[in-house]
A and B are shown apart, each in its own frame.
Chain A
């Protein structure tokens, strides 16, 4: 028993993996392959949790012979802001990662027995895999190979001894027990922050960056990667299908995309759900008083509408959640050939995870990060294409698993610092003892009020971002008044807290960066400023709060330098 009165369970392992989405699953499988004892936990259920099963089943691919050209293009398109060591490592791993995933049980679209590599644009290649069944396939392989797995355990904080990370603490959603994990190596693979504004990726709520920060790890690039997707307001989900943009209209019935991007109205273009041009056009039209934006498919036949939708590939399974027309007709009762539909941009997620080297080591010994929990260092706007999210999870997951296992097999287990653990447990469990007069949802709603509106988070400006930070201050005060009646409530509390922390980092870093670059746009500093801002912004614990610093990009040690 602990001093909170709740039963405490202590478990030890070589490699502890927090989160069993694409990145965590890859990390666990690779660490096991290397001979380590592996324990993987997840707050949902392993095999179905994370972003991969409900995603589109697209895996970005780069031919081995094309890696140098690809990495150079990513670097130039990122205006030399990327970590080039990572870009080359990422490109160089993509082929083998794809092959490894197939060996581990992932089902790919094949042609004559080989994985089919599709060309989706000039030098843009992808493979397609069975997303809904993907993690369940990998889970079966993990189980057969002896990876230990636990569902419904919500990890909140890392445990330390001195500077060393030696495990994590969490609680059981079902049994209410406190779980203390003592590990030689810990891999955080809990994703970044999706905020639940867009439904598709609702499980990732900032837990990874938040626990990394609290343990003293360095975060970076928090000001980048705020991403909006567009979709039907009533469904609350992104709209798949690359030609729907042609049918977006303003309140006057004018097609909106041609007003801003006439080139998109001529010839064949693939405009994906995360295409910033659509979000931009929607924002400008509504700002000009011409909203709401609607999707008008009236006059099209059912077959024509079906032709606009996501493609259904034979041999791969599909789920209802990704079948837009079925959701419209059967769930929302909308006939898209007769009614128009209001469209909304949705905040998909923000960026800025833990800094990692190409082996996914963080700045803390004993701690690795993979997938969305680590910062997306290999690019800064360059190389954008479909399927990179899953590929990034796989590349970083394999890299982290490999390196963490090699480390764990060569060192003894270091005990948890008892006083540190007791403080962490007391903090994690504190809301359970409080009566509370505010619901965690009210905190989350307040966070949304600060992070979702595009006037704060997409078209950024100092005054408005300070206003958003004021809303977040209020959210933080409200958080102190939230109590928890049971483990489910406790999870809601901690999710709200991590979303709040990640959104604060988003704005403090965005305020510091007085220029515009990639997805970070400042109305008050609209130009890219390479002279002063070829620097990464890092966030670490300082005295009394987060400390932001800049690190000049070490261009002199990279392969490519900007032209003088």
Chain B
């Protein structure tokens, strides 16, 4: 899990989350003028979208969608 909850009903279409996502997970639905989660598996839970969303549309849990990474040891 990474995007634990997404509340599109709050979205005002500002596009901050799409701009801040380094993984191209989020896209804008131009017709609806709302963001949507296009590639959930690529979320690395950096909290960029949640940090820059002014409307509280995102709840991101710490785990990456594809699981934990290689150990440094």
A residues near B, CB below 8 A? 43-49, 53-54, 132, 151-152, 173-174, 196-197, 199-200, 202-203, 228, 234-236, 283, 286-287, 291, 319-322, 327, 331-332, 344-347, 441, 445, 448-449, 452-455, 488, 491-492
- How far, in angstroms, from A53 to B16 measured CA to CA in the complex? 12
Beta-carbon nearest neighbor of B53 in chain A? A320
Q: Are B24 and A491 in contact (CB under 8 A)?
A: yes
Q: Are B72 and A454 in contact (CB under 8 A)?
A: yes
B7 within 8 A of A: no
Q: Apart from A48-B20, A202-B23, what are 4 other A-B pairs with CB-CB below 8 Å?
A: A43-B24, A48-B19, A319-B51, A453-B73
Collect the chain A residues with CB atoms within 8 Å of residue B39's CB: 488
Q: Are A452 and B69 in contact (CB under 8 A)?
A: yes
Distance in Å from the Cβ of A343 to the closest Cβ of chain B?
Answer: 10
Contact of B50 among A202, A234, A321, A455 (CB under 8 A): A321
- How far, in angstroms, from A48 to B22 measured CA to CA in the complex? 9
Beta-carbon nearest neighbor of A334 in chain B? B62
- Could you name 21 residue pairs across A and B whose Cβ atoms are closer than 8 Å? A45-B18, A46-B19, A48-B20, A49-B22, A54-B51, A151-B19, A174-B27, A196-B44, A199-B46, A203-B22, A228-B72, A236-B69, A319-B52, A320-B51, A321-B46, A322-B51, A332-B62, A346-B72, A452-B70, A455-B73, A488-B42
- How far, in angstroms, from A202 to B2 measured CA to CA in the complex? 15
Main secondary structure of the interface of B (DSSP, over half): loop
Collect the chain A residues with CB atoms within 8 Å of residue B70's CB: 197, 445, 448-449, 452-453
Collect the chain A residues with CB atoms within 8 Å of residue B38's CB: 488
Beta-carbon nearest neighbor of A492 in chain B? B42
Contact of A234 among B21, B46, B62, B66 (CB under 8 A): B62
Collect the chain B residues with CB atoms within 8 Å of residue A173's CB: 24
Q: Are A200 and B21 in contact (CB under 8 A)?
A: no
What sequence of 0s and 1s flags, for each residue 2-29 of chain B, a beta carbon within 8 Å of any chain A beta carbon?
Answer: 0000000000000110111111100100
Beta-carbon nearest neighbor of A347 in chain B? B72
Contact of A45 among B20, B60, B64, B69 (CB under 8 A): B20
Q: Are B60 and A331 in contact (CB under 8 A)?
A: yes
- How far, in angstroms, from A322 to B51 measured CA to CA in the complex? 9
Collect the chain B residues with CB atoms within 8 Å of residue A48's CB: 16, 19-20, 48, 52
Collect the chain B residues with CB atoms within 8 Å of residue A202's CB: 22-23, 44, 46
- How far, in angstroms, from A235 to B60 measured CA to CA in the complex? 11
Contact of A291 among B15, B18, B44, B73 (CB under 8 A): B73
Known A-B contacts A173-B24, A236-B64, A491-B24; A54 and B44 likewise in contact (beta carbons under 8 Å) = no
Collect the chain B residues with CB atoms within 8 Å of residue A53's CB: 20, 52
Collect the chain A residues with CB atoms within 8 Å of residue B46's CB: 54, 199-200, 202, 321
- How far, in angstroms, from A203 to B19 measured CA to CA in the complex? 11
Main secondary structure of the interface of A (DSSP, over half): loop
Distance in Å from the Cβ of A44 to the closest Cβ of chain B?
Answer: 6
Contact of B45 among A199, A319, A346 (CB under 8 A): A199
Beta-carbon nearest neighbor of B47 in chain A? A321
Collect the chain A residues with CB atoms within 8 Å of residue B20's CB: 44-45, 48-49, 53
- How far, in angstroms, from A152 to B27 measured CA to CA in the complex? 10
- How far, in angstroms, from A174 to B38 measured CA to CA in the complex? 11
- How far, in angstroms, from A181 to B72 measured CA to CA in the complex? 40
- How far, in angstroms, from A200 to B48 measured CA to CA in the complex? 9
Collect the chain B residues with CB atoms within 8 Å of residue A47's CB: 19
- How far, in angstroms, from A75 to B24 measured CA to CA in the complex? 41
Q: Are B19 and A452 in contact (CB under 8 A)?
A: no
- How far, in angstroms, from A377 to B59 measured CA to CA in the complex? 41
Q: Are B42 and A197 in contact (CB under 8 A)?
A: no
Known A-B contacts A199-B46, A321-B47; A236 and B62 likewise in contact (beta carbons under 8 Å) = yes
- How far, in angstroms, from A199 to B63 measured CA to CA in the complex? 11
Collect the chain A residues with CB atoms within 8 Å of residue B50's CB: 320-321
What sequence of 0s and 1s flags, for each residue 25-45 of chain B, a beta carbon within 8 Å of any chain A beta carbon?
Answer: 001000000000011001011
Contact of A452 among B16, B61, B72 (CB under 8 A): B72
Distance in Å from the Cβ of B67 to the closest Cβ of chain A?
Answer: 9
